Amino acid sequence: MRVSVADAKNQLSQLIRAVEEGEEVMMTRSGKPVVQMTRARQEQRTVQLGVLRGRIHLKPGWDAPMTEDEFLAG
């Protein structure tokens, strides 16, 4: 779909809806293409469990209770 920049200002909601449905929108100025709207790619993040296994080592007593003074001392 081609639309002038001036018309695009008035029809932005409809143009976005068209792009969401898979249509490409080309905005033109004086008949020349200046902007192309396409649907944004959805990033797919893969979760890998156990990546840090064997890399984190806790010292004995790491979970021992602390006094308030020890906590505040850092």
CATH of domain 1-40: 3.40.1620.10
For the chain, what are the domain ranges? 1-40
Contact between 33 and 43 under an 8 Å Cβ cutoff? The reply is no
Confidence of residue 11 (pLDDT cuts 50, 70, 90): very high
Contact between 28 and 5 under an 8 Å Cβ cutoff? The reply is yes
- Tens digits of residue pLDDT in 17-48: 999 999 999 999 999 999 999 998 888 888 88
Say whether pTM exceeds 0.85: no
